[in-house]
Amino acid sequence: MGIESKAVLHARLRSKVQEWLAQPLHALFDELDTRLFDLAERSRSAAQQHLYFDALRQLRLARVDVETRFLQSADQALQAEVEEDAPEQPGSPLRLIEKDEQEETLHLESHIQRLSERLAPGLGALLSRLSALEGRPLHHDPQVSAISPRGLSRAFREAMQGADIGIEIRLIVLGLFGQHVLRALEPLYACLNAILAEAGILPELPETPEFTAQARGKAPAPIRRTPPRRVPDADAPTTPSPTPPPSGLEARPDGNQHHLDELHQLMRAYHQSLHTRSALAQDVEEEPGSRTRLPAGSLDAALARLWTYEGEPLEFKPQLLASAREMAQDDNARLASEDEDIVDLIGLLFTRIRNDPDLPAPLQGMLARLHIPFLRTALKDPTLLHGASHPARELIDELGELAISWCASSDPNHALLKRIALTVEQLASHFQDEHPIAFAQAILDLRQQLETQRHRADLAEQRTIETAIGRERLALARNRVASLLQQRLRQHEPMPWVRQLLRGPWSNHLALVWLRNNESSQPFRQALEFVDELLWADDPRAARTDPARLARARQTLPDQLRTGLAGVSLHDSEIESLTLRLRSFLDAQAQGNEAPDFLYENDPTLSQSDFSSQWKDTLTEEQPAPAPLDPDLLARLRSLPPGTWFEFRTSPQQEMERAKLCWTSPYSGKSLFVNRNGLKVQEIAPESLAAEIEAGLARLIDSHRLLERNLRALIDQLRQYVPAARAS
C-alpha cells in the first residue's frame, strides 16, 4: 500500500470513528440532562436538590468541551502507537481523592468486564490489522490500546476533568457512558474491520457474525446541521490516465457541466463574431498555415514561468502569449482556437471571482491566485470544463464555502485565512510538468485539518439552537401563565398576601408544569384548580355558601402548595412558612375569625418573585416598525432556509460580521444567526431584519456555490455580448 493511499485509509478510519461515536455521546448527555432534572424534582432535601441543579448547570456549560475533547482523543486513537499504561503515581495524602478515583475506576471496569468477552474478537482483529498497516508488532494486551473500551474510558474521564461536579454525579455520568458509548463499540469495530479488510489489510482473518452483519450496515447519522462530507475512498486509484482522479474522493456530478458547456459555446460564438468582424474590416482573408499554432509544451512552460502572476486575470493573456512565443521562438505563433477559448473563459471566470461582492475582501485576491493552476489543468485535462465533475472545480467550491462564512471576528487569529492561503500557494507554486496538480489531495488535506473545527462548530450551533428553543418555550409558558392568572385575578379582589402568593411562587410553579407537560395535561389543570379554589376560599362568604367545599380546601390546598413549591427554587423553611400561613388563613375563614395581619402586609420576598418584575423582558411586546416595509422583501426573509448567510454591521462605519441563519422560531418567528464557529451573533425578527437591510446595516449573501453563481453571472454577461458582437 502506497503512502498516499495509507493516509487516505487513515482518514476514512478516523472519519468513521467520529461518525459512530458522536451519536451515542450526544444521547449520553441528553439522557443525563433528563435524569438529573428528574432527580432534582423528586428530591425532598433542598441541599440535595441544589446539588443536582448545580450539576445540571455545570454539565450544560461543560458539555461542548467534554464532547470535543473526547472526540479529539478518539480521533487520535488510531494514529498513536500502542503504549503501556503509565505507572501509578504514589498515593496522595488526600485519601478522599484516592477513594473517588477508585470508585470511578471500579464503576467503569464493571461495564468493561461485562462487554470484554463480546468485544474481544472485533477488537483483536482491528488491532491486528492496524499493526499490519503500520508495520509494527501487535501488543500482547489489547486493553491498553487507545481504541479499546478501557482506552476510550480513560479518554472520557480525562475529558470530564474540566466539569466541576462531585463523585455522585460522576458515577452517574460514567454509568451512562458505559450504556451508550461502550455498547456502540461492537458495530464500530465491525465497520473499521470491514474498511481495512476491503483495503487488503489481512483479509484472511475470520469474520464473526456480528462483524459481517454490522459491517454491511450504516453508521448512525452524524450530529450536524450541514450535509455530511464525502467519505474518502481508500481504493480510489491515484494515477489514472489521462487525467488525475479525485484521489480518495468519490466522483459525483457537481451540477456545473451544463453551465460550462453553454459558456464554452458562447465563447466560441463570441470569438467567431469578433474574427468575422475583423476580417470584414480588413477585407482580406488569412491564408491557411500563414501562422503556426503555439505548441502545448511552450504554452505550459510559459504558465510555469508565470506562476507568480497576481494581476487582473483578463490582463494575463498578452503576457502568456508573449512568454509562450518566446519559448517557441516564433513571434507570429498563435493560440489554437480551443486553447484561446479556454484561456479567455477561465480569465473571465477568475475576474468575476476576484471581484465577487459576496467574498470577503482578503479572500477575493487569494482565490484568484488559483487562476494559473486552474488554467494549466484545463489546457491538459478536458474533463475540467466538460466532465461531470473535477477535483479542481470541487476545490473552488470548497474554498468558496469557507470564504462565504469568514469574517475577522470569527477568525481572530486568522487561522482559517492562513490555512486557505497555504492551500492556494501550494497549488499555485506547482510547476512540475510531469505530475498533475494535486487538487484532490488538497481537498483531503483541507477537510482533514478542518474536520475537528467543523465538528466543534456543529456542536456549538446545536447548543445555541437548543438554548434558543428553551428560551422561547420559557417565554411562551410565562406569557400563557400570566394571561391565565390575570384573567382570574380580574374577576376577584383577593387579599394582598393571596395575590402575592399566586403572582409569585405559584406562577413559577405553573410555568414549570406547563414546560414539562402541556396546558391540557392533568398536572397543569390541577395547578390551575388550586388558583380557583384559593380565590374562592378568599371570599368572606365562602364559609356560609359551601362549608363542605371550604373544609376540603383546608385539607388539600396546604398540601398542594407544599408539593408544588418543592420544584421551585425555594428553601424548605420558606415553603413551610408559606404553607403554615395558608393553613392559618383557611382556618380563620372557616371559623369566621378576623383575617390574620400578614394577609394585609406586603411580603418583600413574594413581591420580588412577582411575574410582573421577574418576567418583564419576556412579557414586553416589541414595538411595531416605524415605517412600512417592502412586503416582497419581508416575504422572502420569512421563507429563507437554514444555511443562508448574511452580513451585519452595527453602524455604516463598522466592519461587517458574517452570520448564518440556523433556526427560525415557530413561536415568535424570530431568526437565530450564528457565526462559522456556531456561536450566536444575534436573534432578530423578520421585520427588524428587513429594516436593517433597507438601512444598509444588513445584506443577504448569495450562498450558492462559488463556481455555480459566477458561471451563471458570466453566462448572462456573454448572452448580451454575443448578439451585440454579431450585430456590429
Q: Find all residues with CB under 8 Å of 719, minimum gap 6, and list them.
A: 266
**C-alpha 312: how far from chain center:** 36
- Alpha-carbon distance 471 to 477, whole Å? 10
451 forms beta bridges with: none
682 forms beta bridges with: 673
The per-residue pLDDT for 626 is 52
Residue among 388, 385, 378, 398 at smallest CA distance from 445: 398
Q: Measured in Å, how far apart are the chain's first and last C-alpha atoms?
A: 61
Residue among 185, 205, 85, 86 at smallest CA distance from 141: 85
The per-residue pLDDT for 108 is 78
Residue among 605, 602, 618 at smallest CA distance from 570: 605
Which residues of the chain register pLDDT less than 50? 2-4, 80-97, 208-248, 280-289, 619-621, 623, 725, 727
The per-residue pLDDT for 671 is 93
**Domains of the chain in sequence order:** 3-84+93-216 (no CATH), 257-437+712-727 (no CATH), 465-619 (no CATH), 625-701 (2.30.30)
Measured CA to CA in angstroms, residue 385 lies from 32, 250, 258, 264, 342 at distances of 53, 18, 10, 8, 9
**C-alpha 553: how far from chain center:** 53
The per-residue pLDDT for 719 is 81
- Alpha-carbon distance 546 to 549, whole Å? 5
The per-residue pLDDT for 216 is 42
Residue type, 504: G
What value does the CA radius of gyration of the chain take, rounded to a whole number of Å? 35
Residue among 26, 17, 20 at smallest CA distance from 176: 26
Measured CA to CA in angstroms, residue 467 lies from 474, 643, 666, 671 at distances of 10, 18, 14, 13
Q: Which long-range contacts (CB under 8 A, 24 or more apart) does 357-361 make?
A: 358/404, 358/701, 358/702, 358/709, 359/400, 359/403, 359/404, 359/706, 360/403, 360/406, 360/407, 360/658
The per-residue pLDDT for 555 is 92
- Tens digit of each residue's pLDDT (9 = 90 or more) over 218-262: 444 433 333 333 333 333 333 333 444 444 455 567 677 777 777
The per-residue pLDDT for 269 is 76
Q: Find all residues with CB under 8 Å of 313, minimum gap 6, and list them.
A: 346, 347, 348, 349, 350, 351, 354, 368, 371
334 by Cβ neighbours in 10 Å (0-12 / 13-18 / 19+) ranks as middle
Q: With contact defined as beta carbons under 8 Å apart, do 500 and 606 qualify?
A: yes
Q: What is the dihedral of CA 409, 412, 417, 419, to 10 degrees?
A: -140
- Alpha-carbon distance 649 to 645, whole Å? 14
pTM over 0.75: no
Backbone angles phi, psi at 537, to 5 degrees: -65, -20
Backbone angles phi, psi at 528, to 5 degrees: -70, -35
Residue among 676, 617, 668 at smallest CA distance from 643: 676
- Alpha-carbon distance 641 to 663, whole Å? 9
Residue among 375, 254, 302 at smallest CA distance from 707: 254
- Alpha-carbon distance 445 to 451, whole Å? 10
- Alpha-carbon distance 185 to 143, whole Å? 13
What is the side-by-side strand order in the sheet with 698-700?
680-684, 671-674, 657-664, 645-648, 698-700
The per-residue pLDDT for 724 is 53
The per-residue pLDDT for 291 is 63
- Alpha-carbon distance 311 to 617, whole Å? 54
- Tens digit of each residue's pLDDT (9 = 90 or more) over 551-567: 999 999 999 999 999 88
Task: Give the chain's count of helices (H) and strands (E).
Answer: 29, 5
Residue 280's CB is within 10 A of a number of other CB atoms, namely 9
DSSP 624-668: PPSS---HHHHHHHHTPPTT-EEEE-SSTTSPPEEEEEEEE-TTT
**C-alpha 217: how far from chain center:** 25
